[in-house]
Amino acid sequence: MPISNAADARDSGYTLAELLIVLALAAAVSTIFTGLVSSGRPGEARGAALAVAGALKTWRTQALADAERIEIRAEDGRLVASSTSGAWEVAPARATLRIEGTHLQGEDGRIAFSDEGLSNGGTVIVSTGTTSLRVVVHAVTGRVDIDE
């Protein structure tokens, strides 16, 4: 029969401190993972805001290239742009879009780019769950930025 000593007995298992550390790490990972898979995570709102900003920049460029006015309105969770030559839309998945704060009278709820690339300005609010970002179209210059 082999002879064992106290050192061998300690090496055969885990200490209470080691078990508590593993449980704490598992709880932290679980909390982080749950936050990432929940709806309305910040990355999702950022992606939707980037899609909206990209579409607005494209429509501004198109207004310049085609020398015609393009109007953008929010409709059923998507942005719809229209001009005399056609209509286009962008609809980021799981995002709610609305237009606020247009600066010229008679342009309520619409952002417009002139044939010179100028704009009446306004803000598109992009919401996913509890996270919202603002895509700002600057009055006059038509520059598009994302406010975080």
DSSP 23: H
- Report the CATH superfamily, name and number, of domain 42-147: minor pseudopilin epsh domain (3.55.40.10)
What pLDDT, on a 0 to 100 scale, did the predictor assign at position 16? 79
How far is the CA of 84 from the CAs of 44, 88, 113, in angstroms? 33, 12, 13
* Residue range 63-74, pLDDT digits in tens: 888 889 999 988
User: Could you give the CA distance from residue 30 to residue 25 in angstroms, rounded to a whole number?
Assistant: 8
Under 8 Å between Cβ of 146 and 135:
yes
User: Could you give the CA distance from residue 45 to residue 93 in angstroms, rounded to a whole number?
Assistant: 10
Instruction: Compute the half-sphere exposure of residue 18: CA atoms within 13 Å on the CB side of its CA.
Output: 5
* Residue range 111-148, pLDDT digits in tens: 888 988 888 888 999 988 888 889 999 988 888 999 87
Under the banding of pLDDT at 50, 70 and 90, the label for residue 32 is: low
* Residue range 96-114, pLDDT digits in tens: 888 887 655 445 678 888 9
Structure tokens at 59: 């429509």
What pLDDT, on a 0 to 100 scale, did the predictor assign at position 135? 93
